[in-house]
Chain A
Amino acid sequence: MSSRQERKGRQGLIALAFLAPALLCLAVLRIVPAISAVVESFYSESLLRGGRVFAGLSNYGDLLASKDFRQSVGVTLLFTVLVNPIQVVVSFLLAVLFTQKAAGSRLWRTLVILPIATPPAVSAVIWSVIYRPDGLANGVLDRLGISAQPFLTSPSQVLPSLIVLLSWIGVGYWMLFLIAGIQEVPEEVREAALLDGAGAWRRMISVTLPLVRRPLAFVLVADTVSNLLVFAPVQILTKGGPNGNSNLLMYDVYNRAYALGDIHVAQAEVVILVALTLAIVAGQFRLLRGDQ
């Protein structure tokens, strides 16, 4: 063994000493529970013998046979298809708007960013009061001459109402990434486009948009992941209702584990939720790479 290899070995031990606490935390608090969800999803409680027995795929079978679960998947996919494009487009448009030279731009930008300081559960509580029949939202509609709306108790309005609330929370955050991206576009590029006589719309579509592709792709992926895990607004505002129309998967998992006490089936649902997340994210990466 050469002395260099020996040194590498000793360095490894010292490095391990520095790494040990974090590796232990990551292993026990992130990786083991992920593996345990997969393992537990193949077991079930045995009423006869007490304790758990290997159940194969029967938890997954139970889930797929459950009408509530199938509805929850449908609602989650519909929500995903609606909320992500809306939030990404709005964040991008706002990022473009707030990087223009105009009076008050910094102040207005700050007002859009402010809500990201509010914890999501607190935002949900605030909006539960805004959406009350006698709340602020209907007050505003009344002023505009629009009759009162049911928001959270209407099967067709509940998802749009959640999307408005989640966009209020999230758009400012995603906008920050896109503003950082736009500010990295070299000034000369924009000036060149200006000299070529490109209008504002043209400059946005053919100059700014392609140059912020990377942050835009990141925002799309990260936004999708965070929206697949939406929980607090559902638990606080709607409890999945009315008639399961806002029963997003993350809430369904929680409900199955704690209200129904079906912990093994809930673990199977966690596995499906994570798999769905990975599949959608992988799909987005492919799409984004495809049109490069």
Chain B
Amino acid sequence: MRRVSLSVLGGVVGILFFLPLLWVVTNSLRPGSETFAHLNPLSWSTFFELRPTLRNYSALLSSEIGRATLNSILVSVATVAIGLAVCASAAFGLSAFQFRGRGLVFGVVVLSFLVPFDAIAIPLSTMFRDWHLTNTFTGLVLPGIGNGMAIFLLRQFFLGIPTELVEAGRLDGLNWFGVFRWIYLPLSKPALIGAGLMLFLFQWQSYVWPLLIGTDAKHILGPVALSNLQGQNFADYGLVFAGAVVLTVIPLVVIAGFQRYFVQSVSSSGLK
């Protein structure tokens, strides 16, 4: 009996959280002119569409949001690739060597993620303006690649790699880059995926920075384009909702694909 009521309670909460997304998906499958047609009175047709059409999605392809979504993908993929190289190499420097000032360097890394990025986005954007990096992909990607949290996470993992392996590699004639490339990286796939997810989500979810730095049609990112469209008086809500679905489904697929590592990276970044 207790289990049944707990299950019902869980179901009610789960469905309440899901309803807004369901409504968005349903309306992405019907013409924008019908968005508000099924709300008064509320009925099953509010949340289900019997004659779904993909017209909003095909319109998306030729719209600004379509292009902005491609930009988001480009920026996020570049951030993950470059950011992983930069962060993993730093974590290797911090964990494989004994040197004076190691504590200090580690302190700088920790300090860098205690300063919230959004808070310094405005001073940083004035610097980027002076360096002519506004409306460039470089300007959009750069702030994402030096992620103190990702360095921290990778360092924790690297510290667990036994020194005997490194010594054996050195005896076999590997230089330090070889040790990094052929011993550390292959052993650290889970940590690298976790850090990569962190870099990806940071970039995919960012809004303040792309709003400050990428506003022309060539460099606008998905969330900014979507909010621009919404701000217009005659917004086509079918298009808005189709864009919202695409911008949600892409990270969802990535998270679902790496689910195990996502929970790992979330809980280790917080608790360890």
Interface residues of chain A, those whose CB is within 8 Å of chain B, are 8-9, 11-12, 14-19, 21-27, 29-34, 36-37, 40, 94, 97-98, 100-105, 107-112, 114-115, 117-122, 124-130, 132, 134-136, 138-140, 142-143, 168, 172-173, 176-177, 180-181, 200, 214-215, 218-219, 222, 225, 229, 231-232, 235-236, 250, 253-254, 257, 263, 266-267, 270, 273-274, 277
Contacts and interface: CB of A to CB of B under 8 A. Distances in A.
A50 B134 CA distance: 24
Contact of B252 (A12, A100, A117): A117
B207 interface: yes
Interface stretch (B37-45, B53-61, B187-195): B37-45
Interface in B197-227: 204-208, 211, 222-224, 226-227
Contacts of A200: 2
Nearest to A253: B122
B182 interface: no
Contacts of B206: 119
B29 interface: no
A128 B6 CA distance: 33
Interface in B220-243: 222-224, 226-227, 230-231, 237, 240-241, 243
A29 B99 contact: no
Nearest to B119: A274
28 contacts: A14-B93, A21-B89, A23-B90, A26-B148, A29-B124, A34-B120, A98-B10, A101-B3, A102-B7, A103-B3, A104-B7, A104-B14, A105-B7, A112-B13, A114-B17, A117-B248, A122-B243, A125-B223, A125-B230, A136-B39, A172-B17, A173-B266, A176-B266, A215-B270, A215-B271, A232-B208, A263-B126, A274-B120
Contact of B42 (A111, A143, A177, A219): A143
Contact of B266 (A15, A31, A177, A274): A177
Contacts of A270: 119-120, 122-123
B151 A129 contact: no
B159 interface: no
B123 A40 contact: yes
B105 interface: yes
A26 B252 contact: no
Contact of A180 (B142, B224, B240, B263): B263
Contacts of A121: 207, 223-224, 226-227
Given A105-B10, A200-B2, 8 more contacts: A11-B99, A18-B90, A105-B6, A130-B20, A139-B42, A225-B116, A229-B119, A235-B227
Given A14-B176, A104-B11, A108-B14, A30 B115 contact: yes
A126 B229 CA distance: 12
A94 to B, nearest CB: 7
A15 B230 contact: no
A252 to B, nearest CB: 11
A134 B36 contact: yes
Per CB-CB distance, the 4 closest pairs between chain A and chain B, nearest first, are A25-B146, A108-B14, A12-B99, A18-B93
A29 B9 CA distance: 46
Interface string B28-72: 000000011001111000100000000000000000000000000
Contacts of B176: 14, 18
Given A30-B117, A103-B7, A135 B39 contact: yes
A250 B118 contact: yes
B146 A22 contact: yes
Nearest to A225: B116
A25 B230 contact: no
A34 B206 CA distance: 19
B185 interface: no
B163 interface: no
B39 A22 contact: no
A115 B230 CA distance: 20
B205 A136 contact: no
A266 B120 CA distance: 11
A263 B123 CA distance: 9
Contacts of A110: 14
Contacts of A225: 116
Contacts of A115: 17, 20-21
